[in-house]
Amino acid sequence: MTYLDYSIVIFYAIGLLLIAYRLSNKENANANASAQNNYFLAGGSLPWWAIGASLIAANISAEQIIGMSGSGYAIGMAIASYEWMAAVTLLLVGKYLLPIFLERKIYTMPEFLNQRYDHRVRLTMSVFWIGVYVFVNLTSILWLGALAIETITGLNIVAGMFALGLFSLIYSVYGGLRVVAFTDIIQVVLLIFGGLLVVYVLLNEISEDTQTTTAVLLSLASEAPSKFDMILSKGDPNYASLPGISVLLGGMWIMNLSYWGFNQYIIQRALAAKNLSEAQKGIVFAAFLKILMPLIVVLPGILVFIVNSSLDSPDQAYPTAMSFLPVGVKGLVFAALMAAIVSSLSSMSNSIATIFTVDILPRVGKLQESDPILIGRISAVIAMMVAMFVAKPLLGNFDQAFQYIQEFTGFFTPGIVAIFLLGIMSPRVTANGALTAAIGSAVFSLLGRWLLPEIPFMDRVSIVFLLCVASALLVSREGYSKSEDSWLYDRSSFDSQTSAGFNLSSCLVVLIVGSFYVIWW
């Protein structure tokens, strides 16, 4: 990094803070709803393009850029299934889940569980989500982001984590979701442009004098054929992470539904839409961006493998890629990396504040009369500080942090998906049944890992999901009363019909994703 590179990064940081400050002032001056609604759901004012961009900015962070590039280096293009199958999952969320959530006018996912089940389920899942956000998501973003900063600039990891956390809090804690969402548009543009620059420079590094960049891109499959198998065979050393055809038919669907459909951190943007139509347009926009993401977060790892297949750790792949960048360009790409990290940290902080304030605060006696926005801001700051302290002990010894994150969250996602899907589809599932599924998800997963460690974690997710569904239905046989049928089963209240544009775009997304698997089967 030269003075020019640092100047570009500083210019980006100052510009982002100024834009956030202006947006915050505008929001405070033109509030057309309650202050709490403005802070946590942007006053229900987000347009489709802000929703789509913010969904991707919240999703793509250090664990994607650093982690997936590392997995691309170690595994290859097969890891892109997380991105491409997510594009299809987004369409299902937009068509079948968003109409229900927006109809109920909820702030949070635990609030929906309270409407469907009871306060016990709401409180249990609120505590769970905050725990995961702090001890898995925030820690991984901070650790991998600081690791990248240390590799590129030499700044100490602890100082890097502090800088990232402080910067994200400065603009997100004050301005709320509206500021986060609209600044995410800038972040996504910078992220995509910077990511494409990395790929272009690496392709030029690989190419011979007589080859064009396009020719090199088309010939990559022959340069590293093992890195372009989308469906891994049982003999592959990485089969346990991506178990063959199960990726398309099993646990990844459950993990994607949990992340994109029932995760406050993500779905909060769609809940803040102007209306259902805008939310669905934003979902489609995000789906198309997800198709592009492997080019930015997976391909650099494969290209680094072609250039240097002897790195000490796969997660060094993206920082290594940046070492090939020329002066000035390196600063721009570094700013793009920081944009992705800071955006995700800000989104996570806002979601923690929302869940704590809406779902937990009303049940804490002495705090009930406090200013909810102030309490939300304090909770976000505390969560960030805790994540900074525990990041190194939790993640310091893992070579592929992305795979660790997926496996850890896979302990809980089967129960989450079971609770929501049963709650939507079956009137017979009771609150006790939902609690059984939530607790059973962790218990069944731990037993499976202990007793049958040879089963790939993604297959274990499928098995645990079925066990959670069965246990919830079994427990619900006692205590169900027909008179207690939820509002949810009046199907006339919910319209899953979508526009011709949504349907046409969905078909196009499915065809594009399907073609990738046909080409690289």
Residue 100 · residue 113 · CB < 8 Å: no
Say how far apart CA 38 and CA 33 lie, in whole Å.
6
Token representation of residue 432: 């006790």
Owning domain of residue 58: 3-21+38-503
Distance (Å) of CA 50 to CA 199, 416, 428? 26, 27, 38
Give the pLDDT of residue 482: 54
Q: pLDDT tens, 235-286?
A: 888 888 888 888 888 888 999 999 899 988 888 888 888 888 999 999 999 9
Residue 511 covered by a domain: no
Map tokens 């499976």 to a residue.
448
Residue 508 covered by a domain: no
Residue 28 covered by a domain: no
Nearby residues of 121 by Cβ (< 8 Å), 6 or more positions away: 110, 113, 114, 419, 431, 434, 435, 438
Give the pLDDT of residue 242: 84
Residue 444 · residue 467 · CB < 8 Å: yes
Residue 52 · residue 283 · CB < 8 Å: yes
Residue 234 · residue 246 · CB < 8 Å: no
Residue 514 covered by a domain: no
Q: Which residues of 336-346 are buried (b: 16+ CB within 10 A; e: fewer)?
A: bbbbbbbbbbb
Low-confidence ranges of the chain (pLDDT < 70): 24-44, 62-63, 171-178, 208-214, 216-218, 364-370, 396-404, 479-496
Residue 408 · residue 461 · CB < 8 Å: no
Token representation of residue 256: 């994607």
Residue 409: which of 284, 263, 194, 248 has the closest Cα? 263
Give the pLDDT of residue 474: 93
Helix axis angle, 457-476 to 413-425, nearest 10°: 40
Residue 192 covered by a domain: yes
Residue 519 covered by a domain: no
Give the pLDDT of residue 223: 74
Count of domains observed in the chain: 1
Residue 510 covered by a domain: no
Q: pLDDT tens, 324-381?
A: 888 888 888 888 888 778 878 888 888 888 898 888 887 766 655 667 778 888 888 9
Residue-averaged pLDDT of the chain: 83
Say how far apart CA 352 and CA 149 lie, in whole Å.
25
Kindly report the CATH number assigned to the domain that includes residue 183.
Answer: 1.20.1730.10
Greatest Cα pair distance, the chain, in angstroms, is 76
Give the pLDDT of residue 481: 58
Map tokens 């409180």 to a residue.
123
Indicate the pTM of the whole model.
0.87
Q: Is 14 exposed, middle or buried, given 0-12, 13-18 or 19+ CB atoms closer than 10 A?
A: exposed
Residue 33 covered by a domain: no
